[in-house]
Amino acid sequence: MTPNTDHPDPSERLKALEQKLAARKVTQPVKSHSESHHGQAQLAWRMVIELVAGLGIGFGIGYSLDLFFGTMPIFLVLFIFFGFAAGVNTMMRSAKEMQAKQQAEQSADDEGETRGD
């Protein structure tokens, strides 16, 4: 069988194909979850749920302790305040997390613009 001279070497064809693919490959920036249409609403609901969960847990613990000890409003009020404080603390932690994520994305976007990407 004689080699076909019409076709170049397969390794050269492969290199040429890889170059064509690399030239056509366009990298799309990946959208984060926070950039979606409902991202801010989801964050707001998450924070509301965290606050309500803290209040609910505080209410449950306080009410249970008051029933157990027979001192109806004391532990209920005390643990509602503790639950409120825990809910606000969790909300603040979520807000800091989202702020750090947005700052990281912003700095990555700014760095990409300065490099000319």
- In this structure, are residues 46 and 14 in contact, taking their beta carbons and an 8 Å threshold? no
Tell me if residue 114 falls in helix, strand or coil.
Answer: helix
Q: What is the pLDDT of residue 109?
A: 79
Per-residue pLDDT 10s for the chain (117 aa) are 555 556 668 888 888 888 888 888 766 665 655 455 678 888 889 999 999 999 999 999 999 999 999 998 999 999 999 999 999 999 999 999 989 988 888 888 777 766 655
Would you list the domain boundaries of the chain? 40-115
- In this structure, are residues 98 and 34 in contact, taking their beta carbons and an 8 Å threshold? yes
Angstrom distance (rounded) from CA 101 to CA 90: 17
Q: What is the pLDDT of residue 93?
A: 93
Q: CB neighbours of 64 closer than 8 A, spacing ≥ 6?
A: none
Angstrom distance (rounded) from CA 95 to CA 63: 30
**Token pair in block for residue 9:** 């070497």
Q: What is the pLDDT of residue 31?
A: 60
Q: Say which DSSP state 38 is in.
A: T
Q: What is the pLDDT of residue 87?
A: 95
Q: What is the pLDDT of residue 26?
A: 66
Q: What is the pLDDT of residue 20?
A: 85
